[in-house]
Amino acid sequence: MTEFAHESIVDGWFREANESCFPGQAFTLKVEKILYHAHSEFQDILVFKSTTYGNVLVLDGIIQCTERDEFAYQEMITHIPLYLHKNPKRVLVIGGGDGGVVRELLKHECLTHITQVEIDETVIKLARKYFPGMSYGLDNPRVQIKLCDGFKYLQDLANASVEEKYDVIITDSSDPEGPAEEFFKDTYFKLLKNALKDNDSLIITQTSENIWLNINYLQNLLKAAKSVFPNTKYCYTMVPTYTSGQLGLMVCSPDETLELTSPVRVPSDTEQENLKYYNSEIHKASFILPNWSNKLLNNFH
């Protein structure tokens, strides 16, 4: 170990146990070395090197990413909406201070402008130091970083011109506690819709939960989103170090005729070579749910 310590690490094991988010279960990783721990202005931040998953970023006790499996999340939350848009140019990322989503966005040569809004500059600084494989795209000239609250940024877009609005908005927030709490309410979806350029635009957000953890919460989140975006669907990605090994995503479009389960563009051979997880078939498959959860999430009113 080092001079750093953290209450979640005991006898060389990190333990993620959060009764409010993941009641009745926990997840553990063996720790090789604690690299950083501090309280920023907004949250508790821990970075450690694990024995099997590389460096790990933990915010308020919950794993955000590991070097070994982060691509499974970054690719799906990025490429699902990007390949659903015919010709995306401008993308907004709310959160995502680790840089993983921006890295994936830069694989789309059609994009001319990427705005990243991150409230906690400390996360960006730590990503540059401990997660260079994720954060290197933050210095790209197509990327503009704004250090402010994402909710407030969207409010300020209310009177923006069409040219200042976005084709795709990706909410890559932490879980709905602390600074990210407002990102899981119907008022947030209204702001998102107002920040979209036109009817072809899309939004996607991580849901914090999956079908195995709190499906009632997912029902309520889908209801909130559908009150603003009637064309809303739940899908998921598989990430071993997220609790239960699965994380839900929710994609929405103002266009009620757009079939969200089928990409309108497909990766070129060159683009596909640079993807470890996403492909057109897994895009479609990610929306297919087991019978019991499909009934609860796709057949309610």
Chain segment 87-115, per-residue pLDDT in tens: 999 999 999 999 999 999 999 999 999 99
Residue closest to 286 by CA, chosen among 234, 244, 239: 234
Identified catalytic residue from 60, 98, 172, 175? 172
Residue percentage of the chain with pLDDT more than 70: 95
Summarised one tens digit per residue, pLDDT across range 110-164 is: 999 999 999 999 999 999 999 999 999 999 999 999 999 998 999 999 889 999 9
State which amino acid sits at residue 165.
K
Q: Looking at residue 24, what is its pLDDT?
A: 87
The amino acid at 270: T
Domains of the chain: 9-66 (2.30.140.10), 70-298 (3.40.50.150)
State which residues of the chain have pLDDT below 70.
1-2, 174-185, 300-301
pLDDT at position 180: 43
Residue 239 CA to residue 249 CA, distance in Å, equals: 12
Q: Is 172 a catalytic residue?
A: yes
CA torsion 207-210-216-218 (nearest 10°) is: 30
186: number of Cβ within 10 Å: 15
